[in-house]
Amino acid sequence: MTDDKDVTHVVDELLAQRKQFSRDDLMELVRAVKAAGGMVESASWEPGDPICPEIRLPFPPRGGGWDALLTAALKHGKVIEVFPKGIPKPDFAHVIIRNR
């Protein structure tokens, strides 16, 4: 038989990983996107889930704009997925920022 105390602990740990962006966090992220020459294309979320912005950035990275974006996302424990777009030479990257 399962101990409810252990189950509760596991559930609490899983829910603790669902870090939400605050308004200030999102402001920092969008500023970093603009500084990198990009734009937020869309964002999605489900009730109870965090916002997952989808971003379009020039590729290859130019200047230090990507550094600020990556730092802003990683400091909040986010996963960053980068998909270069364009054949044969990528000219932009589709970036998704999501929870672990």
Q: Report the alpha-carbon angle 70-65-35, nearest 5.
A: 115
Q: Please provide the DSSP assignment of 26-80 as one string.
A: HHHHHHHHHHTT-EEEEEE--TTS--EEEEEEESS--TTHHHHHHHHHHTTTEEE
- pLDDT for 46: 64
- Per the listing, tokens 């704009």 go with 65
* Mean of pLDDT over the chain: 78
Give the tens place of pLDDT for each residue, 19-68: 677 788 888 888 888 888 888 888 776 665 666 778 888 887 776 678 88
What predicted TM-score, i.e. pTM, was given to this entire model? 0.68
d(CA 57, CA 52): 16
The CATH classification of domain 4-99, taken from the options 3.40.50, 3.30.1390, 3.30.70, 1.10.20: 3.30.70
